[in-house]
Chains A and B, each alone.
Chain A
Amino acid sequence: DAGVIQSPRHEVTEMGQEVTLRCKPISGHDYLFWYRQTMMRGLELLIYFNNNVPIDDSGMPEDRFSAKMPNASFSTLKIQPSEPRDSAVYFCASSGGRGTYEQYFGPGTRLTVT
């Protein structure tokens, strides 16, 4: 398996623009997680899905952030409009759930908002 795939790996955009980050989880995994990593706040869970349904989005910082999972093999995290403080590395992770619990992380998307 190719592991968790994220695109793009790097994104540079101007303040006010819409940004869409993409994730393909490992085939057969039924949990998908979005994290944000910054120097100031470390690694934070933003939202997670189970069987394509959002379970907990309490970590989503504000309404500018939204996440979707239209099917088992694809998820997006969208920021609209983007702000400089959104600059961070965004990780997607997937898991096979309880019993085989381990979250497999993608390589991340480094977002820079100027």
Chain B
Amino acid sequence: DVVMTQTPVSMSVSLGGQVSISCRSSQSLVHNNGNTYLSWYIQKPSQSPQLLIYKVSNRFSGISDRFSGSGSGTDFTLKISRVEPDDLGVYYCGQGTQYPHTFGAGTKLELK
């Protein structure tokens, strides 16, 4: 199975600040069809995960352009700019290239 390693485990940020979360996969996430199925989610307390970014850098419907995804192969990054209170929660990366699909352990974003 593909292992997804996220760093850091947690981080503190000031409102209005910028953060980056890293996600590395144990194998390349480039699918045979040329697509890279790497997604980012946020999960707030007592809620289901919410898709933010799919296929590395595509923002899901309604997601602010303060969220951006980048990367290729095995190394990926989520950047959040001008952090707002509603951005606080646990962020997960997930891969859908190889079955079984797997997720990182999560990065908890807290207020400084």
Q: Do A and B come from one complex?
A: no
Q: Which residue numbers of B lie inside 8 Å of A, CB to CB?
A: none
Q: Which residue numbers of A lie inside 8 Å of B, CB to CB?
A: none
